[in-house]
Chains A and B, each alone.
Chain A
Amino acid sequence: MTLEFLVASSIGVLVAGGIYLALRGRTFQVVLGLTLFSYAVNLFLFASGRLTLNAPPIWSKTVSDYADPLPQALVLTAIVITFGMTAFAVVLALRSFLETGSDQVDGDDAPCAPGDGPSADARREPRA
């Protein structure tokens, strides 16, 4: 197995998990999905500089091989912005929950749309 495969497959798995969670009906899961998705995106951006071992982009007269610094700089700010976005999403979710008493984001006032599985509180089955 190559490092490239490990990184690419990790990105794929994170994206899949992120998409699935983002499509759930409750705010917290959507936030989790966004988090996973952001990991994947940051990793992808970082990988666009290709994978380099033992060559940090710290300039020195005697060294000629460096990892690509540009994607690193972009990803560094992206990580911080990701935090800002996550924080905003979380707070938005919290505020809308406090305002409406529901953390559903399906757009229905009812907890679940008809035909969309169990809808009453009593039918919260202990399924994962």
Chain B
Amino acid sequence: MAVPLTLYTLVVLPFLAALLIAFGSDRGRALHSGLAAAGSALGLAIVLAVAGRVIGGEVLAVSAPWVPGIGLDFSLMIDPLGLMFAGLILGIGLLVVIFGHFYLASGEATGRFFASLMLFQGAMLGIVLSGNVLLLLVFWELTSLSSFLLIGFWRDKAEARQGARMALAVTGGGGLVLIAGMVLLGSIAGSFDLMTILQRGDIVQASPLYPVMLVLILIGCFTKSAQFPFHFWLPHAMAAPTPVSAYLHSATMVKAGVFLLARLWPVLAGTDLYTVIVTSVGLITMLLGAWVALFKHDLKGILAYSTISQLGLLVMLLGFSLEMAAVAAVLHILNHAAFKAALFMSAGIVDHETGTRDIRRLGGLAKVMPITAVVATIAAAAMAGLPPLGGFISKEMMLDETLQISLFGLPWLVPVVATVAATLSVAYSLRLAIHLFFGKPRDPVPHAKAHDPGIGMWASPAFLVILAVLLGLVPMALAGPLVGSVAGAVTGAPVGYLGLSLWHGVNLALGMSMAAVAIGVLLLWRHAGILRRYEAVRHLDAKEMFDRAMGLADRQVRKLIVATHTPSLQMMLFATFAVIVVLITEGALTGGGNLTGTRAGQPASAVAIIAWALLIAATIAVVLAQRQRFLVLIYISVIGLIITLAFVHFSAPDLALTQISVEVVTILLLLLALNLLPKTPPLLSSNPRRIRDVLLAIGGGLGVGGAAWAMLTRNPNDPISSFHLANSYSGGGGTNVVNVTLVDFRAFDTLGEIIVLGIAGLAIFALLDTTARGAAGARLRSWQEDMPHSPERHPLMFVMATRILLPLVLAAGIYIFLRGHNQPGGGFIAALVVAIAFLLQYLASGFDWTDARRRVGEHMLIASGVLIAMATGLGSLLFGANFLTSAFGYFQVPLVGEVELATALLFDIGVFAVVFGAVMLALAQLSQISQRAARAHAAQVEAQQQEDQR
């Protein structure tokens, strides 16, 4: 396979599997896990196929621009470091899928589980294979999100939801900090391409921003990899199903931070600041995790804290900035992935078979579940670092490296603390194995039903344990070349002879290791006493502190919102208008304050002046006649009519047609609404407030009017309209330039507008369709008619007239629609005209009569309209033209003559359908509500009359 295809396939496969699983979520468990396993296996096969080349020193890379403007390329690369992690992700993924298939009951939402798991796998692969740091961030966030879904898989459990939320808050929040750090890194290095950045370590470390950037990136890594003081989320994430813990919280996601430290080693590592921060954080985490793990009783809790401790070890090793420490870290990543995933699965088996994970209730299980006991005991021994297992080698190498480091000028500090932590880890590892499988059963109930599971469940951990053993026995043969080339990829320079083996002769590290084992065994022997002392002390509860911090943030944000976002519409509108006035004033002053320009005015006719006076009078009447609400509508329509006339006068026939039809619809709408709204006189504002508002209104009027005057008395700057005029006929095939602009030149705008209109229509439907319920429904049912109504609901003359009118208006509508491309008209206007014809039917014959004769739903109209318009636009892509490019031609039709057909006409059909649908939806819904209210009122009146007769 070609390199680009290989890499894309590798990253796309898990997402594809997730999608397929999600589509088949109602099918059986076997399909879900089968798809997940197939995806992982195929990916693993690809990784193994390229492994030879990559370990040999070849870096496979591919890049395609995604958002070039910000330097985001979709570039993938696979070098030894990426190869090792990809192998871990896919290999352990495959084992976890097999384990998960048997672990989850068939009644559970296995589709959701495996789809989320594959989503996570894809995101994780994306992180380790990204060749662009911005792309890496995208995948980084995706792991936070998918792990949120996985931790909270058992939605009905409160601790699962809380754990998921906490993990998301910490890792997602850390991700945000990481974004800041990475953007800073990219801007210092001058590129977001990973390879380029890695070569510019000198420039980056010399930058004055290096410390800031370093801390930001480290916070991102530390939150993800559960380092102190961000470690607390990991134990709470144990509420996840055990396969998830085995996968995310031991082998993969928590290693993402370690991966990033390793990945960015050439750029970040080597400075004093880096060494001090990373080493000490790792050291503290290692010690703390190991200490707490010794006293946990939940199996997964022990494993969680031991993971924290082991991650601390890895972080500390990377903090040393030493070549051999990198080798030790790489080897330990492999070791840890093997034994920890095996341990998690064993814990899952014990939980599955005994029904408890509390180590105080278990014990002596070796007799009843010997296979699990062997597997888990070997894995625990590897975690303790006992020979001849892989854990021993990496632990000894780690102890050896600590001797090279002098933290805070104290050469003994790191070796001593590391040895203490190693001692503790021997103790908790042995405690896990011995308290679980040996001795006497502490509680007969879980013990009674325990037995080894089927091979499906123990095969995965057993396989991992075999690897852990082989990593100890034949480390060079099994992992030598891989570890060497990965360490080389981390440090950016080839690594010398590794010499991985169990026996390095007698040296200080061996002594430290032996001391750790001896004291560890001693600790376990005296465990009960130490535990009592530990539990006598009250410890800080991280969850409580986290909850308190979240609560505090919540309250502060709420306060801020209340302070800035008052519930008074008036306050907010006042502020908005005031800002507008200030902006206009400021603009006018910076422009020199010269109000009148040099463009000559045009003399106004007497008719124009009368119309103007009418408009002003009507506006004043609207403002003053607040009490008679129906009267206001007449004044409003006067304004609308005069504006229509102005459009006619100023050579805008299309606008005039649109305005007049919108006017009709708007008045109908306001009438319908006013029927239900209170008609009582408005409460009057206080005088000071009215004066304040009048002043602001006058200021706004003067400002906007002045701006209009200033604009009208100046000549336009080189308008782009000449392009539209010149190309309308030749390029768009229409002579009505306004319509051609709408459906061709600026069709994308129009598409957006009709979508907005469609959304408005649907939102109105959503608001009104549910009024029958709750308080609104009760109010609607007790609605009283408060206006005199005609006794005749549907006057015969009106009904007949509108029925005759309908076909005529429809014909007119079609005519207006068809001529639109060349003469005033088009989809917008035709839709409004036709809508008015239909609304007249509602008005005359009532909602029920009309609604019963309706063939096509408004929702359908809106949806199909948007789809038609979009399809027209996409159609032009098929012909290699840009989105929404129109085509047209002239055809001879017998009898009719020459006819022009343009794709723009199709687009206009879409416009027609959406506008018609949205207008009808709004008004029909409103009239339905009115009808409902009127019917309720009629029923009340009737009941009252019957009451009176009695």
Q: Which listed segment binds A: B112-120, B224-232, B567-575, B887-895?
A: B567-575
Total interface residues on B, using CB and 8 Å? 128
Cβ contact within 8 Å between A73 and B746: yes
Cβ contact within 8 Å between A103 and B677: yes
Q: Which of B646, B764, B832 has a CB less than 8 Å from the CB of A88?
A: B764
Given contacts A69-B738, A87-B764, contact A44 B666 (CB under 8 A): no
In the complex formed, the residue of B with least CB distance to A66 is: B725
Given contacts A16-B701, A26-B682, A98-B776, contact A58 B609 (CB under 8 A): no
Per-residue CB contact flags for chain B residues 742-763 toward chain A (1 = under 8 Å, else 0) read: 1000100110010011001101
Cβ contact within 8 Å between B738 and A57: yes
Distance from B204 Cβ to chain A, minimum over Cβ atoms (Å): 49
Cβ contact within 8 Å between A83 and B919: yes
Give the residues in chain A near B421, CB-CB below 8 Å.
none
Distance from B926 Cβ to chain A, minimum over Cβ atoms (Å): 7
User: How far apart are the CA atoms of A95 and B705 in the complex, in Å?
Assistant: 35
Per-residue CB contact flags for chain A residues 1-35 toward chain B (1 = under 8 Å, else 0) read: 11111111111111111011111111111111001
Give the residues in chain B near A42, CB-CB below 8 Å.
643
Per-residue CB contact flags for chain A residues 33-75 toward chain B (1 = under 8 Å, else 0) read: 0011001101110111111111111111000001111101111
Given contacts A91-B922, A103-B678, A117-B689, contact A4 B709 (CB under 8 A): yes
User: How far apart are the CA atoms of A91 and B652 in the complex, in Å?
Assistant: 31
Given contacts A26-B682, A87-B922, contact A35 B636 (CB under 8 A): yes
Given contacts A46-B647, A107-B566, contact A2 B603 (CB under 8 A): yes
| 7 residue pairs, one from A and one from B, having the closest CB atoms | A12-B705, A16-B701, A2-B601, A107-B567, A107-B568, A8-B709, A98-B776
Q: Is B138 an interface residue (CB 8 A)?
A: no
Per-residue CB contact flags for chain B residues 910-942 toward chain A (1 = under 8 Å, else 0) read: 000001001100110110010000000000000
Q: Is B724 an interface residue (CB 8 A)?
A: yes
Cβ contact within 8 Å between B627 and A128: yes
Give the residues in chain B near A12, CB-CB below 8 Å.
701-702, 704-706, 708
Give the residues in chain B near A24, CB-CB below 8 Å.
570, 626, 682, 685, 693
Per-residue CB contact flags for chain B residues 797-831 toward chain A (1 = under 8 Å, else 0) read: 00000000000000000000000001110001000
In the complex formed, the residue of B with least CB distance to A16 is: B701
From 620 to 638 in chain B, residues with beta carbon under 8 angstroms from any chain A beta carbon are: 620, 622-627, 629, 632, 636
The main secondary structure of chain A at its interface with chain B is: helix
Cβ contact within 8 Å between B742 and A9: no
A-B contacts, 10 of them at CB < 8 A, read A19-B701, A20-B693, A21-B623, A24-B626, A26-B683, A36-B639, A69-B725, A73-B742, A98-B775, A100-B775
Chain B positions within 8 Å of A, measured between CB atoms, are 566-571, 573-574, 577, 599, 601-604, 608-609, 612, 615-616, 619-620, 622-627, 629, 632, 636, 639-640, 643, 646-647, 649-655, 658-659, 662, 665-666, 669-670, 673-674, 676-678, 680-687, 689, 693-694, 696-698, 700-709, 711-713, 715-716, 719-721, 724-725, 728-729, 734-738, 741-742, 746, 749-750, 753, 756-757, 760-761, 763-764, 767-768, 771, 774-776, 779-780, 822-824, 828, 832, 915, 918-919, 922-923, 925-926, 929
Give the residues in chain B near A118, CB-CB below 8 Å.
683-684
Q: With A83-B669, A103-B677 given, can you name 14 additional A-B contacts, CB distance below 8 Å?
A: A2-B603, A10-B616, A16-B697, A30-B569, A57-B736, A72-B738, A74-B746, A80-B915, A81-B757, A86-B669, A88-B763, A98-B780, A107-B566, A107-B569
Cβ contact within 8 Å between A5 and B601: yes
Cβ contact within 8 Å between B652 and A67: yes
Cβ contact within 8 Å between B737 and A69: yes
Cβ contact within 8 Å between A99 and B776: yes
Cβ contact within 8 Å between A47 and B712: yes
Distance from B437 Cβ to chain A, minimum over Cβ atoms (Å): 64
Distance from A51 Cβ to chain B, minimum over Cβ atoms (Å): 5
Q: Which of A13, A52, A105 has a CB less than 8 Å from the CB of B705?
A: A13
In the complex formed, the residue of A with least CB distance to B577 is: A19
User: How far apart are the CA atoms of A107 and B574 in the complex, in Å?
Assistant: 14
Give the residues in chain A near B683, CB-CB below 8 Å.
25-26, 104, 111-112, 117-119, 124
In the complex formed, the residue of A with least CB distance to B759 is: A84
**Among B701, B703, B779, which residue has the most Cβ atoms of chain A within 10 A?**
B701
- List the count of A-B residue pairs having beta carbons below 8 Å apart: 355
Given contacts A29-B626, A51-B712, A69-B737, contact A124 B681 (CB under 8 A): yes
Cβ contact within 8 Å between A13 and B701: yes
Distance from A119 Cβ to chain B, minimum over Cβ atoms (Å): 7
Given contacts A7-B646, A59-B735, A91-B767, contact A67 B651 (CB under 8 A): yes
Given contacts A20-B697, A87-B760, A112-B683, contact A82 B662 (CB under 8 A): yes
Cβ contact within 8 Å between A56 and B604: no
User: How far apart are the CA atoms of A22 and B685 in the complex, in Å?
Assistant: 13
Distance from B816 Cβ to chain A, minimum over Cβ atoms (Å): 14
Give the residues in chain A near B929, CB-CB below 8 Å.
94
Give the residues in chain A near B734, CB-CB below 8 Å.
59
Give the residues in chain A near B693, CB-CB below 8 Å.
19-20, 23-24
Distance from A56 Cβ to chain B, minimum over Cβ atoms (Å): 5
Give the residues in chain A near B623, CB-CB below 8 Å.
17, 20-21
User: How far apart are the CA atoms of A105 and B568 in the complex, in Å?
Assistant: 6
User: How far apart are the CA atoms of A76 and B539 in the complex, in Å?
Assistant: 69
Given contacts A10-B612, A55-B651, A105-B569, contact A116 B685 (CB under 8 A): yes
User: How far apart are the CA atoms of A101 and B680 in the complex, in Å?
Assistant: 13
Given contacts A2-B601, A7-B708, A39-B640, contact A70 B619 (CB under 8 A): no
Given contacts A7-B708, A46-B650, A93-B673, contact A19 B602 (CB under 8 A): no
Distance from A66 Cβ to chain B, minimum over Cβ atoms (Å): 6
Give the residues in chain B near A1, CB-CB below 8 Å.
603-604, 609
Cβ contact within 8 Å between B609 and A6: yes
User: How far apart are the CA atoms of A66 and B738 in the complex, in Å?
Assistant: 11
Distance from A112 Cβ to chain B, minimum over Cβ atoms (Å): 5
User: How far apart are the CA atoms of A60 and B724 in the complex, in Å?
Assistant: 13
User: How far apart are the CA atoms of A56 and B650 in the complex, in Å?
Assistant: 8
Give the residues in chain B near A17, CB-CB below 8 Å.
619-620, 622-623, 697, 701
Cβ contact within 8 Å between B701 and A91: no
Distance from A118 Cβ to chain B, minimum over Cβ atoms (Å): 6
Cβ contact within 8 Å between B742 and A95: no
Cβ contact within 8 Å between B700 and A83: no
In the complex formed, the residue of A with least CB distance to B657 is: A76
Give the residues in chain B near A19, CB-CB below 8 Å.
577, 693, 696-697, 700-701
User: How far apart are the CA atoms of A49 and B750 in the complex, in Å?
Assistant: 19
User: How far apart are the CA atoms of A30 and B709 in the complex, in Å?
Assistant: 27
User: How far apart are the CA atoms of A87 and B832 in the complex, in Å?
Assistant: 14
User: How far apart are the CA atoms of A91 and B523 in the complex, in Å?
Assistant: 73
Give the residues in chain B near A35, CB-CB below 8 Å.
636, 666
User: How far apart are the CA atoms of A13 and B938 in the complex, in Å?
Assistant: 44
Distance from B121 Cβ to chain A, minimum over Cβ atoms (Å): 44
Q: Which of A13, A20, A53 has a CB less than 8 Å from the CB of B649?
A: A53
User: How far apart are the CA atoms of A60 and B123 in the complex, in Å?
Assistant: 59
User: How far apart are the CA atoms of A112 and B568 in the complex, in Å?
Assistant: 11
Distance from B278 Cβ to chain A, minimum over Cβ atoms (Å): 52
Give the residues in chain A near B776, CB-CB below 8 Å.
95, 98-99
In the complex formed, the residue of A with least CB distance to B569 is: A105
Cβ contact within 8 Å between B760 and A85: yes
Q: Which of B652, B709, B711 has a CB less than 8 Å from the CB of A72?
A: B652
In the complex formed, the residue of A with least CB distance to B702 is: A12
Cβ contact within 8 Å between A80 and B662: yes
Cβ contact within 8 Å between A60 and B926: no
Cβ contact within 8 Å between B619 and A13: yes
Cβ contact within 8 Å between A44 and B686: no
In the complex formed, the residue of B with least CB distance to A12 is: B705
Give the residues in chain A near B761, CB-CB below 8 Å.
84
Distance from B684 Cβ to chain A, minimum over Cβ atoms (Å): 5
Q: Which of A21, A68, A97, A100 has a CB less than 8 Å from the CB of B719?
A: A68
Cβ contact within 8 Å between B741 and A70: yes
In the complex formed, the residue of B with least CB distance to A6 is: B612
Distance from B832 Cβ to chain A, minimum over Cβ atoms (Å): 8
Cβ contact within 8 Å between B662 and A5: no
